[in-house]
Amino acid sequence: MEKTKSRKLNISFESDISLTPGRKLKEMESNEAAEKSGSESKGRIWEFIAIATIPIVQVFGNSMLVPVLPEMQRQLGISKFQSSLVISIFSLAAALFIPVIGYLSDQFGRKMIIIPALVVYGGAGVLAGFGAIWDSYGVIIAARAIQGMAAAGTAPIAMALVGDLYKGGTESKALGLIEASNGSGKVLSPIIGSLLVLIAWYASFFAFPAFCLISLLAVLFLIKEPKHEQKQELGKYIHKIGDIFSKKGSWLITCFFAGSLGLFILFGVLFYLSNILEDPPYNIDGVVKGLILAIPLLGMVITSYTTGSLIKKKGTLMRWLINIGLLLMTLALGATIFFFKNIYLFIGLLTVSSIGTGLLLPCLNTIITGAVQKSERGMITSLYNSLRFLGVAFGPPLFGWMMDRSDYLVFISVSVLSLITLGLVFFLIRPPRKVS
């Protein structure tokens, strides 16, 4: 019988199970959290983009038509005053309708208001375009009033939506983005309007639906709104709004006034600059004029976004930036009294003033949205935006009236207004160290 030589077979196993399961579990949780954080970050970027489209659409509603007005006067045989109503009726309708829309957004949800508003906005643009083809000034004005009502459901409600979606520093960043998008729209719209006039003087009206469609799709598919609270009875709702103003009215109204003044001055000085650029010795118009007007606005856009990213919910920092912003506006506008005839220095001073506005507005937005609960936020932000619209609506006409009397009157008036607002803000707006 043959002997069998035995051999030792070495077999080893590698296990995925750690001898220290606690550490392994922590590593797995850490990886999952990192993946989730990355996914949320990507989703948030797309949300930010969707939110940014809403104020841009609103701004295009007025600013894109400014280069169109002279040609509209010639084609329809209307006066300067009649053509200016194409701008003013939009802003006035929006200002009057915003509080109603704000209440409805608190009752039914933000997207339930923004989506129909964008549809009506685009449809009214088509109606205005056909009114232009039919040489019907009445149809154009009626369509512009409808567009203004629809505009009430865009950027003002987007501000309340941001307060619902985000907290802390993310909310401040998103509100800064809204102001930056608003400013970007102001930069781009005169240039786009000037280019569209080359196709047809009424082409801008038909461009509105395209911009609205982009924003509509972005809001529909990229923004997930939090679950809306139950509807409130109108009487209780009004009582709550009254309580807010009785407790916080002094500084809240000051915030409203400061925001309205910022846009009143911004649009007024741009109107002034636009007019003097077309007169001798400059004789600049069209796209080149649009690019020059973009310089101060670009300063505001960059500052707004940077401010929104930095302030987070730091109440003390916001108070400092609001006061610094108004101080810059006061000093820059005061200096224009002496240097408005030097065009290069004048544009530089207007840019400094616009940077001051860029410091001011995102801080005001954050303080106002943080002042109230979600269920009343739509009304409060709507009242604020209503006053902002009035500032935009009355800026150019009042600056035009002052220009007819004296250039010095223009800049003395706005400097004094800025100084008075700085005093009110310094004494009345004192947010807590951490804005809720």
Segment 391-406, tens digit of pLDDT: 877 877 788 788 888 8
pLDDT greater than 60 at residue 10? no
Q: What are residue 314's DSSP bridge partners? A: 434
Whole-number pLDDT of residue 232: 66
22 assigned to some structural domain: no
pLDDT greater than 90 at residue 427? yes
Co-location of 74 and 203 in the same domain: yes
Contacts of 105 (CB under 8 A, 6+ apart): 112, 113, 153, 157, 160, 378, 382
Whole-number pLDDT of residue 228: 66
pLDDT greater than 80 at residue 123? yes
pLDDT greater than 70 at residue 13? no
27 assigned to some structural domain: no
pLDDT greater than 70 at residue 375? no
Q: Helix or strand or coil: residue 183?
A: helix
Alpha-carbon distance of 332 to 419, in angstroms, equals 11
pLDDT tens by residue, 262-281: 988 987 888 788 778 877 88
Whole-number pLDDT of residue 231: 67
Residue span of the structural domain in which 81 resides? 44-225
- Residue with the bigger pLDDT between 140 and 40: it is 140
pTM equals 0.74
Whole-number pLDDT of residue 436: 61
350 assigned to some structural domain: yes
pLDDT greater than 90 at residue 64? no
Instruction: List the structure tokens of 423.
Output: 């005093």
Co-location of 323 and 426 in the same domain: yes
Contacts of 270 (CB under 8 A, 6+ apart): 293, 296, 297, 350
Q: What is the mean pLDDT of the segment spanning 181-198?
A: 81
Co-location of 265 and 350 in the same domain: yes
The runs of H, that is alpha helices, within 340-405 are 343-369, 374-405
pLDDT greater than 90 at residue 127? yes
Contacts of 197 (CB under 8 A, 6+ apart): 67, 68, 71, 203, 204
From 172, 199, 225, the end of a domain falls on 225
| pLDDT above 90 as % of the chain | 28
Co-location of 140 and 192 in the same domain: yes
Hunting for tokens 């307060």 — which residue is that? 163
Residue 384: closest CA among 269, 245, 210: 245
Q: What is the mean pLDDT of the segment spanning 48-70?
A: 83
List strand residue ranges (DSSP E) for 264-330, in order: none
Count of structural domains, the chain: 2
Residue 354: closest CA among 265, 288, 432, 251: 265
pLDDT greater than 90 at residue 306? no
29 assigned to some structural domain: no
From 177, 210, 225, the end of a domain falls on 225
Co-location of 252 and 373 in the same domain: yes
Co-location of 383 and 403 in the same domain: yes
252 assigned to some structural domain: yes
**pLDDT-wise least confident of 10-19, 256-265, 401-410:** 10-19
Hunting for tokens 């300067």 — which residue is that? 80
Which of 54-68, 98-112, 240-254, 331-345 holds the top average pLDDT?
331-345
pLDDT greater than 90 at residue 247? no
Instruction: List the structure tokens of 105.
Output: 């957004």
34 assigned to some structural domain: no
* Angle, alpha carbons 235-239-240 (nearest 5°): 120
CA-to-CA dists, residue 69 to 76, 87, 113, 299, angstroms = 10, 9, 31, 26
| pLDDT above 70 as % of the chain | 87
Co-location of 334 and 260 in the same domain: yes
Co-location of 153 and 69 in the same domain: yes
Co-location of 221 and 237 in the same domain: no
Q: Which CATH number fits the domain that encloses residue 327?
A: 1.20.1250.20
What string of DSSP letters covers 102-150?
Answer: HHHHHHH-SHHHHHHHHHHHHHHHHHHHHHHHTT-HHHHHHHHHHHHHH
21 assigned to some structural domain: no
Q: What is the mean pLDDT of the segment spanning 156-167?
A: 81
Co-location of 139 and 164 in the same domain: yes
From 225, 241, 270, the end of a domain falls on 225
9 assigned to some structural domain: no
Whole-number pLDDT of residue 425: 92
Alpha-carbon distance of 303 to 184, in angstroms, equals 12
**pLDDT-wise least confident of 109-123, 182-196, 324-338, 373-387:** 373-387
Co-location of 361 and 429 in the same domain: yes
Whole-number pLDDT of residue 272: 83
Co-location of 179 and 294 in the same domain: no
Whole-number pLDDT of residue 369: 79
Alpha-carbon distance of 198 to 194, in angstroms, equals 7
